[in-house]
Amino acid sequence: SAVISQKPSRDICQRGTSLTIQCQVDSQVTMMFWYRQQPGQSLTLIATANQGSEATYESGFVIDKFPISRPNLTFSTLTVSNMSPEDSSIYLCSVLTGRYGYTFGSGTRLTVV
């Protein structure tokens, strides 16, 4: 299965600032997915990122708040903009890896103070 390197693993940020999360995959993949996992809750899909096109956002998530880049088939970034304490969550990237289902990065634990 694919191996995903996600960074940073954790960060503490001031409200009003932005944080960019990076995901690097060890193989080329068509679609990458970004999830949010709020404390004590399950995973919620933020957006799907295809290389060469605009990301597709789920209901409740907007590009101005969560801009995504997908410059090539192995890399993507998610930015959490103008952060507030409500953005404190774990953010995860994921790729579809055939028979192994979806592989997830190790996550970025974000705390906004």
Question: Where does this chain bind other proteins (CB under 8 A)?
Answer: 1, 4, 6, 31, 33, 41-45, 48, 56, 92, 94, 96, 99-107, 109
> Are 106 and 9 in contact, with CB atoms under 8 Å apart?
yes
CB of 82 to other proteins, least distance (A): 26
Which residue in the block uniquely carries the two structure tokens 């191996």? Answer: 3
Give whichever of 17 and 58 is closer to other proteins, judged by the CB atom: 58
Q: How many Å apart are CA 6 and CA 18, to the nearest integer? A: 17
CB of 106 to other proteins, least distance (A): 5
Burial label for 105, CB within 10 Å (0-12, 13-18, 19+), is buried
Give whichever of 83 and 105 is closer to other proteins, judged by the CB atom: 105
